[in-house]
Amino acid sequence: MNIYKQIVISILVVIFFVGGTVALTKTFFNGGVSADTLRLDEQEATIRAINRATPGVVSISIFETTEKEKVKIGSGSGFLISADGLILTNKHVASAGAEGKSEYKITLYSGKQYYAQLIGKDPIDDLAVLKIFDKNLPYLELGDSNNLKVGTSVIAIGNALGRYANSATKGIISGLGRSLSASGNNGTTENLENVIQTDAQINVGNSGGPLINLEGKVIGINVAKDNGGESIGFAIPINKAKPVITSVKNTGRIIRSFLGVRYVTITPEIAEEEKLARSTGALIVVNDKGEAGILPDSPADKAGLVVGDIIFEVDGKKINEQLPLSAYVNQFAPGKKLGLKVQRGTTIFTKIVTLAEFK
């Protein structure tokens, strides 16, 4: 066989494997993958991810019954996390009405509707769990939010503006480890720590819906947007919700552990302004409402911690903006023992604490 025939046969083999002469032309003769091919791959991956996730995304309508009629008082989004009907959403969505007086109507992508039971609201993060009663329901697969990268493509899905169900917007992760205070329409305020920033449009009504990657896996729960800018939205990392999900599946309620400190995460700016001995860690403080930095009879209180202490390591993990104190503590159940490395003035010491249940 001469060399010309060998080349022709090799080209034909490549054509069969890549699925067409267009792909061959762009990669074989141009020496690389074209921009058009990359865009097509990204578009197909986006469509697949949306199609995979959308059946498990739900619209939530909240009603209250007055003396004369049932009135819709709020709406939001959520997503199924189990085949038997567990739904993850935001606490501020579930808190739209008066405590104990709200009814939750769930609409699936299929159009099927249910009334849901409120399982619980997370006392720490802006999360809540609802339950509808059925089986073999479509649910979303959870991803891993611990190793996210800025620039990763993501898609937000939800009930935009309370009337455009299963709307999808695409963008990238534009920041990580953000901390902010978010105010809801019902007057509630949530302190959000270590959240994902994205330029995927998150509109009113998207709260509680999933932020997914191009595999269709949930990496965040859409929670807020900054009205002061364009395309600045935020999502709670899914790994922060996993202890809540595990607790509900194992016990039927949300059980959270706590250390019992109020703190600020130290940044270089805070360290310089307050003339601190360290530029990272958790500085125990009295908050702006004058509430104690150490909760009475808490694990921190029993360990002898005081306002002004800096917790800079937990179990050998350095506490900083990427790993805030609460992000580490909240992944464990009550009863877990943690080793804290603390600086007080020029003295460094270690304390062993046993986490208590948040009541």
Query: Which DSSP state fits 299?
Result: H
Only one residue has tokens 């990580």, namely 176
Closest CA to 53 of 143, 138, 171: 138
Condensed to tens digits (0 to 9), the pLDDT of residues 320-346 reads 988 889 888 988 889 999 999 999 999
Q: How confident is the model at residue 185 (pLDDT cuts 50, 70, 90)?
A: low
Condensed to tens digits (0 to 9), the pLDDT of residues 342-354 reads 999 999 999 999 9
Q: Provide the CATH number for the domain around residue 175.
A: 2.40.10.10
pLDDT reading at 36 higher than 90: no
User: Which pLDDT value is given to residue 227?
Assistant: 81
pTM of the predicted model as reported, rounded to 2 decimal places: 0.81
Helices (H) and strands (E) in the chain, counts: 8, 20
Closest CA to 142 of 74, 254, 240, 29: 240
Domain for residue 48, yes or no? no
Domain shared by 273 and 335, yes or no: yes
Q: What percent of the chain has pLDDT over 70?
A: 87
Only one residue has tokens 């039927």, namely 252
Only one residue has tokens 């199924």, namely 80
Task: Look at residues 206, 234, 251 and tell me which one is the last residue of a structural domain.
Answer: 251
Domain for residue 40, yes or no? no
Domain shared by 233 and 261, yes or no: no
Domain for residue 47, yes or no? no
Q: Residues near 346 by Cβ (< 8 Å), separated by ≥ 6? A: 277
Domain for residue 269, yes or no? yes
Domain shared by 84 and 99, yes or no: yes
pLDDT reading at 37 higher than 80: no
Q: Which long-range contacts (CB under 8 A, 24 or more apart) does 20-28 make?
A: none
Q: Provide the CATH number for the domain around residue 290.
A: 2.30.42.10
Condensed to tens digits (0 to 9), the pLDDT of residues 263-301 reads 999 999 999 999 999 999 999 998 777 788 999 999 999
Domain shared by 177 and 122, yes or no: no
List residues with catalytic annotation: 92, 126, 207
Domain shared by 99 and 19, yes or no: no
Q: Which domain holds residue 169?
A: 153-251
Q: How far is CA 330 from CA 48, 124, 221, 243, 351, in A?
A: 33, 8, 17, 8, 18
Q: How confident is the model at residue 39 (pLDDT cuts 50, 70, 90)?
A: low
Domain shared by 265 and 246, yes or no: no
Domain for residue 280, yes or no? yes
Domain for residue 50, yes or no? no
pLDDT reading at 5 higher than 70: no
Please count the structural domains in the chain: 4
Domain for residue 46, yes or no? no
Task: Look at residues 98, 131, 164 and tell me which one is the last residue of a structural domain.
Answer: 131
